[in-house]
Amino acid sequence: MEVKIKGLDYDRIWEDTWVNGVERYLAIKGSNRGIIEKSGKVIIPVKYDTVEHDNGYYIVTENLKKGLFSSEGKMILPIQYDAIVTSNGNVATIKNNGKIGVFNLKTKNIVVPLIKEAAVFDANYIAMRENGLWVIYNENGDIWIPPIFTNVAKKKYDVTALRNNTRYASTGEFFVDYPRKNVKGGTLHIKERIIETIHTKIIL
């Protein structure tokens, strides 16, 4: 909803979100956007092409490149990536030139370099594809399950995700294809490293 705040020199101001009990607004000046508080305090400078609130962080775009800011307005990732996607855990994927890596939001380190082809989230675990096989990493970039799957997918209908209005809600599960054991569409319990099908249970 658009609002009017006396004394602030912006073309338009829109309600955005609440952080620590303080309402924040998307401020627009010309073609530039940023995040402000009602007092006029600037959280994200009003100089970016887009600003998106994403799982407690801000993703900004400038000249088609993206960067990441904390909710306090501190830059976490420089504005040099083609895409950034956070999870509701401690990880984010970063993408450049068609390659994907993993950034740990807690330690502020790239834990998987930009070498992968695709990624699927589940909070603090990420499945990533390279050379046709999927490997699953934990939030520290350690291999949790080696590259043995030919397909990995999130559940299509995720009640938790719908309730929280986010695609990235954790279920602790992936659907996987595991040809070595003739499994297609089995349920992988990620933390336990167990695959379940209608007929069998496989401990990895």
Q: What is the pTM of this model?
A: 0.81
DSSP state of 198: S
DSSP state of 76: E
pLDDT of residue 9: 87
Q: How far apart are CA 139 and CA 124, in angstroms?
A: 5
pLDDT of residue 62: 97
For residue range 41-87, list pLDDT tens digits in order: 999 999 999 999 888 899 999 999 999 999 999 999 999 999 999 87
CA–CA distances in Å: residue 192 to residues 62, 103, 142, 168, 202: 41, 23, 15, 20, 11
pLDDT of residue 16: 81
pLDDT of residue 60: 97
Q: Residue 50: left (phi > 0), alpha (psi -120 to 50), or beta? A: beta
- CA nearest 33: which of 52, 7, 15? 52
CA–CA distances in Å: residue 126 to residues 103, 109, 164: 11, 15, 20
Residues with pLDDT less than 70, the chain:
88, 155-170
pLDDT of residue 22: 84
User: Is residue 98 classed exposed, middle or buried when 0-12, 13-18 and 19+ CB atoms within 10 A define those classes?
Assistant: exposed
The dihedral of CA 148, 130, 122, 184: what is its sign?
negative
Q: How far apart are CA 92 and CA 168, in angstroms?
A: 11
The helix, strand and coil proportions of the chain, stated in percent and rounded to the nearest 5, come to 5, 60, 35
18 SS3 class: strand
